[in-house]
């Protein structure tokens, strides 16, 4: 998430009330989570396990809960609660805007696009040309939709990320300031839910087709010409490369990458990254042919046991 203009380290420290290490005028251009962070950004870290990853990332500023040696060319914001202060920055730079109409005055809708009754389109949404948005679709603020996109009834684009910190008093939510981006010629079925990024974009690329009742988590990227069948659940920060096929009820763990042209059979539980160009099945997931052999062997166990008894 980029700020509307550059801010200094001192200015950001005053917003969140923190100490800092670095020059007062050190420039900051945005804020992002670790997996999408860029030069000029703030990244937050609040667990020693991830200190090195954050300090060695592309981030120019690290919001951290311990005074550590500052890497050359970077700056630090020292906070007793980086999670809380990251939320403060999201509230400051991306405050919630309530709606006062079913279709916001700030929404941009391209020529030839059809908006059916009972559609909600939020603030600063952009929809391209020759799209069809069916009844009861909800499109939250800042979503970007390309040309020739079809979205069926009941689908929600841009709900908050499912991202919480477990505190003694209960779960504390990490606020979402990102977007959903749908590229050209994407079809999205009925009752799908596509969450926006925490600070970046959840993206569905050109030509991909989604069936009904699919969940896409925050900051996930679905490549070009993918086919995703009904009831697939994709966690946050997943990368699905081009021309992947996911059959019904596949579940994918957070942070996994599915390689180009992979095929994943129905009801597979994907708990790790998968190479492209192969076919997979099962839970835990394996190459389909190997998994089928294992299942065949398991089916032979009663017969083997019976033979052992007779011997």
Known catalytic residues are 218
Q: Sign of the CA dihedral 295, 296, 302, 308?
A: negative
In degrees to the nearest 10, what's the CA dihedral of 103, 108, 111, 112? -30
Q: Which residue do the tokens 């190479």 mark? A: 275
Task: Please give the Cα distance from 85 to 270 (Å, whole number).
Answer: 34
- Asked whether 99 and 105 are in contact (CB, 8 A), the reply is no
The CA-to-CA distance between both ends of the chain, in Å, stands at 70
Neighbour tally for 309: CB within 10 Å: 7
| φ, ψ of residue 289 in degrees (nearest 5) | -60, -45
DSSP 17-66: T-EEES-TT-EEEEE--GGG--TTEEEEE-SGGGHHHHHTSS-SEEEESS
DSSP-derived secondary structure letter, 274: B
> Are the C-beta atoms of 164 and 174 separated by less than 8 Å?
yes
Write the DSSP symbol of residue 103: B
Give the number of other Cβ atoms within 10 Å of residue 230's Cβ: 17
Residues 6+ apart with CB under 8 A from 290: none
Q: How far apart are CA 61 and CA 286, in angstroms?
A: 40
The dihedral region occupied by 124, where left means phi > 0, alpha psi between -120 and 50, and beta the remainder, is: left
């Amino acid at each position: 998430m980029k700020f509307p203009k550059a801010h200094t380290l001192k200015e950001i420290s005053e917003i969140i009330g923190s100490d800092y290490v670095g020059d007062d005028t050190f420039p900051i251009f945005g804020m992002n989570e670790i997996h999408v962070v860029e030069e000029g950004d703030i990244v937050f870290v609040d667990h020693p396990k991830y200190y090195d990853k954050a300090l060695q990332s592309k981030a120019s500023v690290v919001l951290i809960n311990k005074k550590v040696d500052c890497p050359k060319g970077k700056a630090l914001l020292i906070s007793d609660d980086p999670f809380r202060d990251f939320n403060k920055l999201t509230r400051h730079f991306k405050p919630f805007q309530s709606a006062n109409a079913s279709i916001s005055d700030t929404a941009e809708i391209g020529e030839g696009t059809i908006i059916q009754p009972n559609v909600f389109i939020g603030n600063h949404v952009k929809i391209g040309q020759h799209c069809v948005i069916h009844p009861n679709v909800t499109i939250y603020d800042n979503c970007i939709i390309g040309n020739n996109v079809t979205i069926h009834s009941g689908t929600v684009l841009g709900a908050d990320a499912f991202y919480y910190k477990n505190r003694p008093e209960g779960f504390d939510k990490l606020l979402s300031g990102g977007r959903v981006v749908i590229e050209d010629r994407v079809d999205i079925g009925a009752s799908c839910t596509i969450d926006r990024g925490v600070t970046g974009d959840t993206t569905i690329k050109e030509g991909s087709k989604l069936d009904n009742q699919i969940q896409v988590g925050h900051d996930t990227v679905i490549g070009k010409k993918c086919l995703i069948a009904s009831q697939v659940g994709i966690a946050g920060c997943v990368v699905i490369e081009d021309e992947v096929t996911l059959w019904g009820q596949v579940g994918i763990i957070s942070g996994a990458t599915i390689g180009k042209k992979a095929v994943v059979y129905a009801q597979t539980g994907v708990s790790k990254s998968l190479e492209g160009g192969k076919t997979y099945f099962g839970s835990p997931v394996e190459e389909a042919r190997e998994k089928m052999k294992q299942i065949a062997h398991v089916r032979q166990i009663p017969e083997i046991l019976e033979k052992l008894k007779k011997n």
